[in-house]
Every structure is written in C-alpha cells, then in structure tokens.
Structure 1
Amino acid sequence: MDLTKKSIQKIIDYCEEHGLDFQSLPEIIDEPKVAPMVRGIGFEYVIKNYLINLLKKNDNLTVKKEIINSQLTVKGDDLQIYERDTKKSFSLECKLAKNNSFSLGTKNKKYSHCSIKVMRSRTLGDEIIKRLSKKGEATIEELKSHKDSYLYNHFDLVITNLRNAFYITNEDKKFIFRPNDEEWSFLENFCNTKNHSKIDNDLKNNHYFANSFDLAPISKNNICNRKKCPNPNDCKFIPNYPVFRFDELGKVWKNLKYIEKFFSI
C-alpha cells in the first residue's frame, strides 16, 4: 500500500473510531469555524516537512515537533530546531498572514505590506497574569495591557507564509485565494512571472522567518500602539499583527530557505 492509500485508510479508521461520517469530511474541514484551525495547525506540518527536507544534509540541526495538550500555563512550541554544537533548542512559532491583509500602501504606511497574525488564541486571565509576573519577565501592568500578545522571548523565531494575505471570504462564507487585479499585478512583479499558476505555487512554497526580538518594539523596529502600554518605545511584546514589508525583504523577514545562516551567526 502506497503512502497516499495508507493516509486515506488512517482517516477512514479515525472516522470509524470516533463515529464520524468519512464522506462528510471535506464539508467539515471547510466549515468557517474549522477551516482556520485546520489551516493553522496544518501549516506547522508543512513547515516541519519543509525544514526536514531543507536540513537533511545538515548533521548539526534537527527538526522536532512535540504534541502538547495546549494550556495557558504550559509553554508549547509549534516546532523546535535542536543545534547539536551548542546543545540548544530553538522554538519556532508558525503563523500565517492575516486574511485579506495585503495593501499596496496606506496614508501611514506608504509601501506594499501585509500583516502577520501573531497573537494568543486565548487572552490571559488575572490569575495567569499574577503567576507570570512573579517570574519577573513582565509587570502586572504590562501583562494586563497585552493580554492577547506574546512576549518576544516566548519563542525564538516566527515563521510565516504570505498566501493568506490574498484570501477573501466569498459569498458562501468560504475562505478562498482570490487576488484582485491590482494584487495580481503586484504579484506578477514580485514573483517575476505573469503565469498565475506559477505565482500561486511560489506563494505556497516560499516561507519567511523573523527573529521574534526584531518584531517587538524593544528592537526599535516599531512602537507599541497599545494605549495603556507603560513602555511603548521599549515594549517587549510582539504586536498582534506585525507588518511584513515587501520592500524590505531580507531585513526583518527573510526567506526560510536561508535559515541555516541564522545558526551560523
């Protein structure tokens, strides 16, 4: 039995075990409440397989993924890269671009950009805030003003894919990839081709990473816009939607195919 048939059989067995209708699975996955979760977690596995293939000849770096029952009090990494030379593990957070967030430019941002959705799925409660503040990483005031944000040291790298920035919600409330004419024109220039199928393929297979420190205002790359933030210029929290600048590719955000250079610094 080939790999595809084995995977299909596993899905059939899963449905039978849990009393699900296998034939309805495509509709279930496409439900507006389910699709974002499936695509978000699915992206973690896309990056896992991408990195394993990219680093297969590198004896110093190993890609790991641990399955953790997510709780606010438990720090779980989407992925890890273990560096043998230093015996260090680096945590990777996989986050897709925000739906329909591409812009050719605005009044305040006069450059092509999109937003990367980097935020907690659940906000911090008062008890959790007290516990975290006792660790000394942030004050209660700082944590309360960033209940749905991550401290930059929660993970080492953020990995993203930009294709989601060109998604819309159609009349059937389904998430679909559908750039408009202006966006296709931009993508033709960005990907250096007028072939839309090739552009779509390039977007699927090109991923980007950023050092989490570089995304927080403390790095001096931006200023915190939270009104109640006590330290907007030196804030240690990553904005919920950090900006990806297409005109500064290689500065904060770099192509994931160059990730080995991060470990050789």
Structure 2
Amino acid sequence: MNWTDTLVKFCGEYNIPIEYLADVLSDPKVVPMIRGKAFEFSVAATLSKILNPNEWKVDKPIVNSQLGLHDTDVRVTHLQSQKVLTVECKLAKNGSYRRIPSNKLSSGYVNQVSVKCMRSRTLGTEMVEKLAPKLGVSEKVLAVHNDQYLPSNFDVVITSIGNAFYKTNSQTKEFEWNPTLQAIKFLQTINSNSIELKDFAFSCMYIAKSNDIAINHSTGVVCTRKKCDNPTNCGFIPNYPIILFEDGNKVPLLRWVSIEDSESLLTTLII
C-alpha cells in the first residue's frame, strides 16, 4: 500500500474521522509527541544515507514503552563486529538559541543551542527502588536525578537544532518559526548549502557521545540540581546539554559534530 492507503486504513482501524485528522494532529498537546517520534524516523533515514551500507545497518525498532525501561530510538549495527550502538533522538529546546558573551574566545561571543534531553516520565519512588540497583547508583542519588539519563542508557545523542528558532504563540498556542535577526545571521553562517533557512534548521543535525555530554570532571559539565551531592562528577546527563558555536564558525566548539561526520564518531565506539 502507498502512504495514503495506509493512512486511510489506520484511521479506520482506530475509529479516527479522517476529515478531522489534521485537527487532531495539530492539537498543542499532541504535536510535541508526534514531532519527537517523527524525528526518530528522520534520524534513521539520514543515517541510512550517510553510513556505508556495507559496514553498517540502521533500523528503527518499534517497541511498546515500559515504565522505567529505556526504549531504543534508533539502532546502528556494525556488521563486521556485530556491535549494536543505540541512538537517542532529541530535538532542541523551543526558542533556546542565544548569542552570549564569552571571555574565553577571541570573538568574544558564542552561539548557543540547548538540547532537550530528559526522560519523558519522571521516576516515582517505587521505580527508583527497582532501578537504582540495576543502574549502580543509590536510591537517594537516583531520586535527585529522577528525570535524567545516565550515559549507559544509550551510546549517542542526535539532535536537530530547528526547534531552537521556534516559539509558541501566546495567543494561538501554535508553534511558529520566529528566529531573531541574530539567529538568522547564525543560520546563514552555518548554512553551507544555501537552502531555505527554515528547512535547513530542521535538517541540520548534530551527534555526540553520551559520555561526552555527561556531568563529570573530564567534560567540565556541572550539575545544577540543588540536592546533588556531587555536582562536578555525578555522572548524569543534564536536562539541557548545550551546543556552542564561536561567532563565524560553522563547526561546534566541543563534543558535538555534524551528523555528516557520524561514521567517524561511531567508529570510535567500535574500537
């Protein structure tokens, strides 16, 4: 079946009036979940085009979510070693683009995008008790970080920066493309293909190893949880990892690399 026949069949099976499907999907409560799930398929399709098919297999597992257990968004298998790498797909935080001063760089400014990287469900007391021994942390520590991931939950994170230039209209509640003049200048700088900025922003993806964005001494990432007893080395991934670009530079400063360079990064996890 083509996609239209599949859509008609889906609506019939779940008793969804097809004439109202667009209204259902555009509901502000529904859109974020749909967009997050759709991004997983976009990542799988993009990796399939970039990675050498003679060396890598990319697939999108369809699984039923279970509370407390982490689902795999995308799998990448290295064919020779049969090692499986797990990919977490996370969109940028809405409206998170900032151009901020930095005393450490020659330009004096950096462009910042925050990635929304947290559990969709906060762990309750019962789940904390069950998961803490499996994750190798105390119940007290997991309770403090009950919506955060550990690097062991997945191997890499892939994000699209598009959301960073969108804002929710306070009156219509609709999600709107609304970049500032500074944001437009930044996107023009990193847009090597000169395609329309809105399309470019969503197709612009970056990848990072989970260990490289975790809170520890080597990364220099600091925990902001007030009750965290080890804010420089607790080991969790912050809710909003940051991607930084020096003014005028197309390449991120630390940890993150363009998805076009994902094969090199993934290869380091096989060795």
TM-score by length of 1: 0.90
Q: Given the alignment, which residue of 253, 257, 260 partners 2:256?
A: 253
Give the paired residue count. Answer: 258
Partner AA of 2:208 in structure 1: A
Map residues 106-125 of structure 1 onto 2, 5 A cutoff.
111-125=110-124
Corresponding residue for 1:244?
243
Q: Does the 8 A contact of 1:167 with 1:177 survive in 2?
A: yes
Match of 1:211 among 209, 212, 218: 209
Distance 1:158 1:108, change over 3 A: farther
Please name the residue that 2:133 is paired with.
134
Where does 1:177-256 land on structure 2 (aligned, <5 Å)? 177-191=177-191, 198-218=196-216, 219-247=218-246, 249=252, 251-256=254-259
Q: How does 1:54-73 map onto structure 2 within 5 Å? A: 54-55=50-51, 57-73=52-68
Question: What one-letter code is carried by the residue in structure 2 that aligns with 1:173?
Answer: K
Which whole-Å CA distance do the structure 2 matches of 1:259 and 1:169 have between them? 31
Aligned equivalents of 1:77, 1:243: Cα separation in 2: 22
Q: Deviations over 1:207-230 (max 9, x none)?
A: 110001111112433111111112
Residue 111 of structure 1 aligns to a residue whose secondary structure is strand
Structure 2: gaps of 5 or more residues:
none
Select which of 4, 8, 11 maps to 1:12: 8
Q: What SS does the aligned partner of 1:63 have?
A: strand
Q: Which residue identity is paired with 1:67?
A: I
Secondary structure at the counterpart of residue 104 of structure 1: strand
| Contact in 2 for aligned 1:141/1:230 (Cα 8 Å) | no
Counterpart CA distance in 2 for 1:108 and 1:26 is: 48
Contact 2:68 2:131 (C-alpha < 8 Å) held by counterparts: no
AA at the equivalent of 2:204: N
Q: Structure 2 CA distance, aligned partners of 1:40 and 1:108?
A: 35
Look up the SS of the partner of 1:168 in the other structure.
Answer: strand
Q: Structure 2 CA distance, aligned partners of 1:34 and 1:207?
A: 23
CA deviation digits over 1:107-127, x for unaligned, max 9?
999521011000011111112
Once the two structures are TM-superposed, the CA of residue 264 in structure 1 deviates from its matched residue by 3.1
The structure-2 alpha-carbon separation of the partners of 1:121 and 1:263, relative to structure 1 and needing over 3 Å to count, comes to closer
Instruction: Give the aligned residue type for 2:224.
Output: N
Q: In structure 2, the residue corresponding to 1:105 is in which secondary structure?
A: strand
Per-residue deviation at 1:251?
2.6
Offset of residue 106 of structure 1: 6.1
**Equivalent position amino acid for 2:60 in 1:** K
- Which runs of no fewer than 5 residues in structure 1 stay unpaired? none
Match of 1:25 in 2: 21
CA gap of 1:108–1:98, structure 2 versus 1, over 3 A, is farther
Residue 150 of structure 1 aligns to a residue whose secondary structure is coil
For residues 250 and 181 of structure 1, the distance between their equivalents in structure 2, rounded to whole angstroms, comes to 22
Q: Which residue of 1 aligns with 2:45?
A: 49
The answer on 1:95 being equivalent to 2:98 is: no
1:74 equivalent to 2:73? Answer: no
1:104 alignment counterpart: 99
In structure 2, the residue matched to 1:168 is 167
Q: Distance in 1 between matches of 2:112 and 2:25?
A: 29
SS at match of 1:59: coil
